[in-house]
């Protein structure tokens, strides 16, 4: 069984320049036994390692052929170094870490994401849409800054063609070519068809201000706290809950999250922790 705490060598199989400051790296283990032992749940993350250090990055995709993908936005020294990795280069990773999204929901799902916050939800969307036994419908609301920063465009366009999904897009700044709406993604909640919000499950990842606004709007419509799941991004260093950098209230985001059932964090978020 793979030791999640020991860095493992991975090779950059492909590199995709998503936007001016965001890349996706498709990685594969260099040892066959590591590839066969590796398994993750949608919503978990890896610690990606390079000469400059390591940072937590959500797992944005994977395949049965043994590769997996990380989308990296350049926010600091380590992420900049990782973003410069080219096809054929070698990196290291530890993981997977943390708790993932619920995979056993049978009713309708509402997913609200913003920007690169869509990354940890991509495997979850594919999980439900590819499950022939899932009887629900997926409502996907995604917000972007502008069209130049529209990550994962192909995936969203593909989901728009699914009869099991309704996709509503919103840009803070719309251009003449933009096909979605302009404004806050949370405003698109009012564009949803008549739903039984008491039975709906909402899953969200993105800026905390966006998730808090979404929760407020949906609770007014009857959404229950126990049916809300959010993924947090905090200052995670160790990945195993030892260093305490990512602690919020009594929870460690790296160990107890990053996906949380909302009741576990409600008071801490209301206090602004």
Segments of the chain assigned E as strands: 8-19, 22-29, 45-50, 53-58, 61-62, 67-73, 90-97, 109-114, 138-144, 165-171, 181-182, 201-205, 228-231, 247-248, 251-252, 259-261
Task: Give alpha helix (H) positions in 130-236.
Answer: 153-160, 208-220
Number of H helices, E strands in the chain: 7, 16
Alpha carbon of residue 114 to chain centroid: 10
3-state secondary structure of 162: coil
Distance CA 38, CA 98 (A): 15
* Contact predicate 113/202, CB 8 Å: no
Q: Calculate the alpha carbon distances from 202 to 1, 41, 100, 144, 159 in Å.
A: 34, 18, 14, 19, 18
Q: Side-chain half-sphere of 79: how many Cα atoms within 13 Å?
A: 15
Q: What are the pLDDT tens digits along the chain (273 aa)?
A: 556 678 899 999 999 999 999 999 999 998 776 667 788 899 999 999 999 999 999 999 888 777 899 999 999 999 999 999 999 999 999 989 999 999 999 889 999 999 999 999 999 999 999 999 999 999 999 999 999 999 999 999 999 989 999 999 999 999 889 988 999 999 999 999 888 899 999 999 999 999 999 999 999 999 999 999 999 987 777 777 778 788 888 888 888 889 999 999 888 877 666
Q: How far is CA 268 from the centre of its chain?
A: 21
pTM confidence score: 0.91
Phi-psi category of 98—alpha, beta or left, where left has phi over 0 and alpha has psi -120 to 50?
left
Secondary structure (3-state) at 107: coil
Look at the chain and count its residues: 273
| Cα–Cα distances in angstroms (integers) from residue 194 to residues 36, 69, 88, 138, 225, in the given order | 45, 36, 50, 14, 20
Q: Which residues contact 14 (CB under 8 A, 6 or more apart)?
A: 25, 26, 87
Mind listing the pLDDT tens digit for each residue in 85-144? Answer: 999 999 999 989 999 999 999 889 999 999 999 999 999 999 999 999 999 999 999 999
**Averaged pLDDT score across all residues of the chain:** 90
| pLDDT tens column, 84-98 | 999 999 999 998 999
**Nearest CA-CA partner of 191 in 170, 172, 205, 174:** 170
Distance of CA 107 to the CA centre of its chain: 21
Cα separation, 166 vs 138, whole angstroms: 6
């Amino acid at each position: 069984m793979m030791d999640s705490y020991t860095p493992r060598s991975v090779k950059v199989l492909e590199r995709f320049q998503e936007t001016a400051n965001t890349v996706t790296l498709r990685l594969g283990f260099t040892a066959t036994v590591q590839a066969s032992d590796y398994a993750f749940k949608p919503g978990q993350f890896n610690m990606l390692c390079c000469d400059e250090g390591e940072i937590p990055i959500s797992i944005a995709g994977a395949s049965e052929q043994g590769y997996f993908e990380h989308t990296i936005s350049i926010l600091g020294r380590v992420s900049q170094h990782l973003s410069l990795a080219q096809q054929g280069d070698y990196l290291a990773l530890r993981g997977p870490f943390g708790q993932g999204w619920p995979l056993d929901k049978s009713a309708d799902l509402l997913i609200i994401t913003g920007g690169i916050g869509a990354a940890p939800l991509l495997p979850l969307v594919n999980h439900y849409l590819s499950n022939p036994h899932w009887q629900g419908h997926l409502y996907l609301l995604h917000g972007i800054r502008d069209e130049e920063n529209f990550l994962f465009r192909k995936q969203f366009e593909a989901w728009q063609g699914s009869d099991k999904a309704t996709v509503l897009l919103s840009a803070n700044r719309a251009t003449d070519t933009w096909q979605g709406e302009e404004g806050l993604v949370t405003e698109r909640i009012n564009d949803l068809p008549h739903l039984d919000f008491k039975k709906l499950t909402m899953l969200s990842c993105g800026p905390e201000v966006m998730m808090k606004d979404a929760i407020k709007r949906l609770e007014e419509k009857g959404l229950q706290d126990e049916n809300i799941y959010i993924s947090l991004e905090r200052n995670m260093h160790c990945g195993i809950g030892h260093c305490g950098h990512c602690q919020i209230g009594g929870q460690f985001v790296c160990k107890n999250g990053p996906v949380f059932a909302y009741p576990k964090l409600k008071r801490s978020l209301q206090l602004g922790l």
